[in-house]
Structure 1
Amino acid sequence: MKKIKINSIGSKLGITIMILFMCILVPLGYVIDRIFFGFYYGQTHEYIDEVSLDIINSISYLDDQNELGLYEKMANHTKTELVIVDKAGKVLTTSNLYENGSRFNLDLLSKIKKTNKIHQDYVDPHTKNYYFLSGRPIIINENFEGGVFVFSSLDSIHDSIHKLRTYLVIAILGALLLAAGFTFFVSKKLSKPLIDMEKITRRISKGDLNINIKKTSNDEIGSLAQAINDLAIELKEYRTNRSEFLANISHELRTPISYLSGYASVIRKNLYNNEQEKEEYLAIIENEALRLTLLINDLFELSKMEENKIELYKEWIDVEELIEGVLNRSKLSANKKNVTLKYEPGKHLKMILSDGMRLEQILTNLIENSIRYTNHGGIVITSRANKDFVIITIKDSGIGIPPNDLPFIFERFYRVEKSRSRQMGGTGLGLAIVRELVNVLGGTIEVNSTVGQGTEFIITLPIEV
């Protein structure tokens, strides 16, 4: 038999629901008891008041024994005790409490004479029984002639209340049993998905990512199940990307390190033929060292951006002036490949509040990338502004990007043509850095490309970051 854990979510939920039921049922039972108790007391008061009033209204003479005997029988019929006394306190007729001719309680007689009516609890001095008492004066010809006292035993009321309380206790216990069954079902129903999620989460923590939680509802539990499924997918993608990243970085580092090691060994062992060959080897070492430095810097920069550790230095920037400055620095590279650079600024171009150095880095990377993959023709840069955004486009007439590769060009180390990319000096990180920088500046970047016709990058930046 499976042991029930007290500290489990199901047990805690069940105990909470049971406590809630008890907090509702116990006060409700108490209120019902008080309501019925008050109702019985009120009914009894009202009843003996009516009996005493009827007797007072029907009494015309106190010396008629037949009439007094009739009242005695009426008292027995109404299940009350009746005492009729004269003005001196002598009992004229009674059912059971007093004997005819005995003396009645003069204090009660005096009280009804003064107040015209009494209504109170009464304890019989001989039997010690508890009664409700209703007393009224007998007025004949505007003279006080005595009193009528009607007694109702509290035992019957107590019996009724006792039965009611018994029924209430049975009802509450039955309700609690039903609540316990309901609680067990509900706690099991609600806690089972959470327990399943806990087990699956532990499997995920151990590296088992090929799992999926069945979403059974559209509430918060269903949302949590979907979040865990998304987490498993993201972790799986992360593990795959990490493996690819390690493979890519080791591949990227292996080539320049091999060059550095190989040519440094050649120079150290004097395996060159002349000084010109030595200079060529030293130039290769310098270029590969520079390439390695750029790769490490790009990786460091990308890591800072992905961890949100990059700092922005915002200032108001003249976009037109910034683009012209980038183009001036890129003219040398463009001239070497006979590629023209053209800038077409929009009218009434607004200044933007952004990080000028980061925006310059974005434009430099994109323009240099366009120059790298454009063998003839030119590159056109345009800029325009609307109410909230500045839009910059960089369109070239280069080799273009195949449709299958287009969704992946912003991923780290992704190359469309790996051999050509390496010959052209790319690290595969430039566009990844561009995308992260655009995101940091609060903008978006889109790309359109046709193989053999060229590529167009569209950057949208807010007027204020």
Structure 2
Amino acid sequence: MTQEVKEIRRIRIDKNSILFKLWKYFVSFAALILISIWLFQTVFLSSFYETMKIHEVTKVGNQLRAEYESEDFETKLSNYANTKGLEIKVLDETGAWVFPLRLFDEFIERPRMIWENFDKFFGSLKRDNRIYKIYTVRYENLKDPSIIYAGYLGNTNGEDYYLYINSVLKPVDATVDVIRRMLIIISFISLVMALIISYFVSKRLSRPLVRMSNTAKELAKGDYKVEFRKGEYTEIDDLSNTLNYAKDELTKTIEMRKDLVANVSHDLKTPLTVIKSYGEMIRDISGPNEELRNKHLETIISEADNLTALVNDLLDLSKVESNLEEIKKEEFNLEDSLYYVLDRFKINKNYSEYKFNIKSKGNTKIKADKSKINQVIYNLINNAINYSPDNKEIEIVIKGDSKFTEFHCIDNGIGIKEEDINGIWDRFYRVRDNHARPEIGTGLGLYIVKTILELHDFEYGVHSKFGEGSDFYFIATK
């Protein structure tokens, strides 16, 4: 491939890019404005001019009618006629001119309006019971149409008087032609400026988005230290904050996945190694010795139970996080659920030494997903057992009223350090002082409790003192 072809492909315009689309929209908007101006000036100018002229004549006529009784009425007529370029006359009921009069009109017969026209303009006022009317008239001997205002002034000395205003609609063709020539020049300049300005504006608007796109590509390559920079606009800042939040959450998820793989690998490898070792010991050493063989078999069974617990917790975690199971709420008694869960512990001889003190008070009914709440109760009790190796007495309190029901699982175990309390709800968090294999728990139980209770919008938490025990609780709303 030649260098020229590469260069052509590099500068090829991407018609789907935000830069091109913004530029296209700006140019289209500018063109739309210019087209609107063209239409207004060349198509609608004449009708707009006629409307404005009618409005002006009507306004003058109504003002003069309102001032008919004033002493300087004739002066005002003259002023309006001169300043507005209007033909203004006052006629009597016979159509004769009353104002303005020429020098000898008082001594000879005054000019009169043709009776047909007078009846057309003013006779219809009485017939239609109107004060004034506006007409647009074309005369045969005149090239341009006229706007006629015919209004009733009033009755003086038993005679009616009328106001006649005539304004010629002067042609606007010459004006339109001048405006058209100016618009050609203005349109060309405006389009060129629109093309240039819209390009730079579009480039400026799209720059932070392009920068974010490049940053996202770096993130996709595995660089989780990238930072989405803020732009010059509120929306860009909001998007930047959202992407940075998503990046941080993604980083946490990646780290959590690594921890998950490491923890699961460790928790699977250790019991499998123990099972294999004790199996070989049974084969090679303790086979004939029944007592030693049973001891080794108990170790194998215990490690198999640990594996089963880990697998079950992983399955529960997967179901809860992927929301494969919907929340199916029903009303049930929390105390009945407690006894149901305790029966599961009692049939296991590993828990036969533990004593459960149960205190129940008030209305203990709640509305929730029964199977999931049973799982919460099981995990809380199992957690209390795991961290109470010496004092094997566990107190369970259920109390409720018409609005809330509280569940407390109180142990007298090793307790939790203050700095560890916030972390106990995380996945694979187990209280330990070193990186050696913990002897108890999978580190998933409390995380599953937290997830289920948050799905129900139930309040939950723990009160604990290191070396004195813990009180895990949740509060269910009715």
Q: Under a length normalisation based on structure 2, what TM-score does the superposition of the two structures give?
A: 0.69
Q: Against the structure 1 CA distance between its residues 258 and 34, is the aligned structure 2 distance closer, same or farther, given a 3 Å change threshold?
A: same
Q: Partners of 2:311 and 2:20 in 1: how far apart?
A: 55
Question: Could you say which residue in structure 2 is the equivalent of 1:250?
Answer: 265
SS at match of 2:472: strand
Question: Could you say which residue in structure 2 is the equivalent of 1:344?
Answer: 359
Q: Partners of 1:212 and 1:279 in 2: how far apart?
A: 60
Corresponding letter in the other structure for 1:373: Y
Higher deviation after alignment, 224-233 or 261-270: 261-270
Q: Partners of 2:467 and 2:224 in 1: how far apart?
A: 41
**Alignment deviations for residues 306-336 of structure 1 (CA, whole Å, 9 cap, x no partner):** 1111244543211223334444655688996
Q: Does 1:9 align with 2:12?
A: no
SS at match of 2:297: helix
Q: Partners of 1:443 and 1:331 in 2: how far apart?
A: 28
Q: Against the structure 1 CA distance between its residues 224 and 359, is the aligned structure 2 distance closer, same or farther, given a 3 Å change threshold?
A: same
Question: Could you say which residue in structure 1 is the equivalent of 2:33?
Answer: 24
Q: Against the structure 1 CA distance between its residues 49 and 315, is the aligned structure 2 distance closer, same or farther, given a 3 Å change threshold?
A: closer
Q: By how many angstroms is 1:419 displaced?
A: 7.6
Q: Against the structure 1 CA distance between its residues 255 and 131, is the aligned structure 2 distance closer, same or farther, given a 3 Å change threshold?
A: same
Corresponding letter in the other structure for 1:132: D
Question: Could you say which residue in structure 2 is the equivalent of 1:316?
Answer: 331
Q: Counterparts in 2 of 1:36-51, with a 5 A limit?
A: 36-38=45-47, 50=87
Q: Partners of 2:455 and 2:44 in 1: how far apart?
A: 69
Identity value in percent: 29
Match of 1:365 among 379, 404, 424: 379
Q: Does 1:206 align with 2:206?
A: no
Question: Could you say which residue in structure 1 is the equivalent of 2:198?
Answer: 183
Report if aligned partners of 2:400, 2:406 keep a CA contact under 8 Å in 1: yes
Q: By how many angstroms is 1:269 displaced?
A: 4.4
Q: By how many angstroms is 1:299 displaced?
A: 0.8
Q: Partners of 2:218 and 2:212 in 1: how far apart?
A: 10
Corresponding letter in the other structure for 1:240: E
Q: Counterparts in 2 of 1:81-96, with a 5 A limit?
A: none
Q: By how many angstroms is 1:416 displaced?
A: 1.0
Report if aligned partners of 1:438, 1:444 keep a CA contact under 8 Å in 2: yes
Q: By how many angstroms is 1:209 displaced?
A: 1.4
Report if aligned partners of 1:122, 1:133 keep a CA contact under 8 Å in 2: no
Question: Could you say which residue in structure 2 is the equivalent of 1:406?
Answer: 421
Question: Could you say which residue in structure 2 is the equivalent of 1:127?
Answer: none
Report if aligned partners of 1:383, 1:390 keep a CA contact under 8 Å in 2: yes
SS at match of 2:368: strand
Q: Against the structure 1 CA distance between its residues 418 and 272, is the aligned structure 2 distance closer, same or farther, given a 3 Å change threshold?
A: farther
Match of 1:291 among 296, 306, 320: 306
SS at match of 1:27: helix
Q: By how many angstroms is 1:431 displaced?
A: 1.6
Corresponding letter in the other structure for 2:144: F
Question: Could you say which residue in structure 1 is the equivalent of 2:466?
Answer: 451
Q: Against the structure 1 CA distance between its residues 13 and 27, is the aligned structure 2 distance closer, same or farther, given a 3 Å change threshold?
A: same
Q: Counterparts in 2 of 1:1-400, with a 5 A limit?
A: 3=11, 4-34=13-43, 36-38=45-47, 50=87, 58=102, 115=117, 119-120=137-138, 131-132=143-144, 157-216=172-231, 219-269=234-284, 272=287, 274-327=289-342, 330=345, 340-347=355-362, 349-374=363-388, 375-376=390-391, 378-400=393-415
Q: Partners of 1:38 and 1:52 in 2: how far apart?
A: 27
Q: Partners of 1:265 and 1:121 in 2: how far apart?
A: 125
Higher deviation after alignment, 303-312 or 31-40: 31-40
Q: How many residues align?
A: 394
Q: By how many angstroms is 1:57 displaced?
A: 6.5
SS at match of 2:461: strand
The CA RMSD measured in Å over matched residues stands at 4.1
Q: By how many angstroms is 1:245 displaced?
A: 1.0
Q: By how many angstroms is 1:300 displaced?
A: 1.1
Higher deviation after alignment, 181-190 or 206-215: 181-190
Corresponding letter in the other structure for 2:308: T
Q: Partners of 2:36 and 2:103 in 1: how far apart?
A: 48
Q: Partners of 1:378 and 1:459 in 2: how far apart?
A: 20
Q: Against the structure 1 CA distance between its residues 189 and 424, is the aligned structure 2 distance closer, same or farther, given a 3 Å change threshold?
A: same
Corresponding letter in the other structure for 1:341: F
Report if aligned partners of 1:316, 1:352 keep a CA contact under 8 Å in 2: yes
Corresponding letter in the other structure for 1:306: E
Report if aligned partners of 1:330, 1:367 keep a CA contact under 8 Å in 2: no
Q: By how many angstroms is 1:224 displaced?
A: 1.8
Q: Partners of 1:115 and 1:59 in 2: how far apart?
A: 25
SS at match of 2:87: helix
Gaps of 5+ in 2: 1-6, 58-83, 91-96, 106-113, 122-135, 149-165
Report if aligned partners of 2:310, 2:442 keep a CA contact under 8 Å in 1: yes
Q: Partners of 1:450 and 1:278 in 2: how far apart?
A: 42
Structure number with larger C-alpha Rg: 1
Corresponding letter in the other structure for 2:206: S
Q: Partners of 2:321 and 2:48 in 1: how far apart?
A: 75
Corresponding letter in the other structure for 1:302: L
Report if aligned partners of 1:337, 1:376 keep a CA contact under 8 Å in 2: no
Higher deviation after alignment, 113-122 or 287-296: 113-122
**Alignment deviations for residues 76-105 of structure 1 (CA, whole Å, 9 cap, x no partner):** xxxxxxxxxxxxxxxxxxxxxxxxxxxxxx
SS at match of 1:447: strand
Q: By how many angstroms is 1:166 displaced?
A: 2.3
Q: Partners of 1:31 and 1:261 in 2: how far apart?
A: 93
Q: Does 1:439 align with 2:454?
A: yes
Report if aligned partners of 2:145, 2:169 keep a CA contact under 8 Å in 1: no
Q: Against the structure 1 CA distance between its residues 39 and 329, is the aligned structure 2 distance closer, same or farther, given a 3 Å change threshold?
A: closer
**Alignment deviations for residues 117-155 of structure 1 (CA, whole Å, 9 cap, x no partner):** 9953879xxxxxx94377x9xxxxxxxxxxxxx9x998x
Q: Partners of 2:288 and 2:323 in 1: how far apart?
A: 52
Q: Against the structure 1 CA distance between its residues 52 and 362, is the aligned structure 2 distance closer, same or farther, given a 3 Å change threshold?
A: closer
Report if aligned partners of 1:443, 1:461 keep a CA contact under 8 Å in 2: yes
Report if aligned partners of 2:395, 2:409 keep a CA contact under 8 Å in 1: yes
Q: Partners of 2:48 and 2:367 in 1: how far apart?
A: 78
SS at match of 1:132: coil
